[in-house]
Amino acid sequence: MPGFVIGIVQDTSGMPDNNDGWRYGTIILDFGDCYRRVSFSFDLSEEIPRRESLRKINMIAEVVTAVRDAIEKEVESRNARPHNINTDSQTSIAISNSAN
């Protein structure tokens, strides 16, 4: 399952104040795998949307970090299990269900 993350934040600090282009700098955050893609929008053009965008990215970062930590713990748990688990019962259940 190949995945990707694209994150781009245009640095507008060098743009002159009299050029409104700094209000609309490029911000991209995309997550994807082989089947899905999720894109997030961040509006930094005005004070309230900037505050909301900062809150949004902090929430995303918090949840992604929590999920990563949980996956890491689950990988350790599963790696500690015996490696010679018999999966024949799962296979026969799938076969018998498909026969009905």
Residue 62 has pLDDT above 70, yes or no: yes
Q: What is the pTM of this model?
A: 0.73
Count Cα neighbours of 4 within 13 Å in the Cβ-side half-sphere: 10
Nearest Cα to Cα of residue 3 among 28, 27, 30:
30
Cβ neighbours, 10 Å, residue 12 = 14
User: Rounded to an integer, what distance in angstroms lies between the CA atom of residue 100 and that of residue 91?
Assistant: 15
User: Looking at the predicted structure, is the pLDDT value of residue 35 above 80?
Assistant: yes
* CA–CA separation, 57 and 28 (whole Å): 11
Whether residue 100 has pLDDT greater than 50: no
Residue 60 token pair: 């995303």
3-state secondary structure of 73: helix
The per-residue pLDDT for 95 is 56
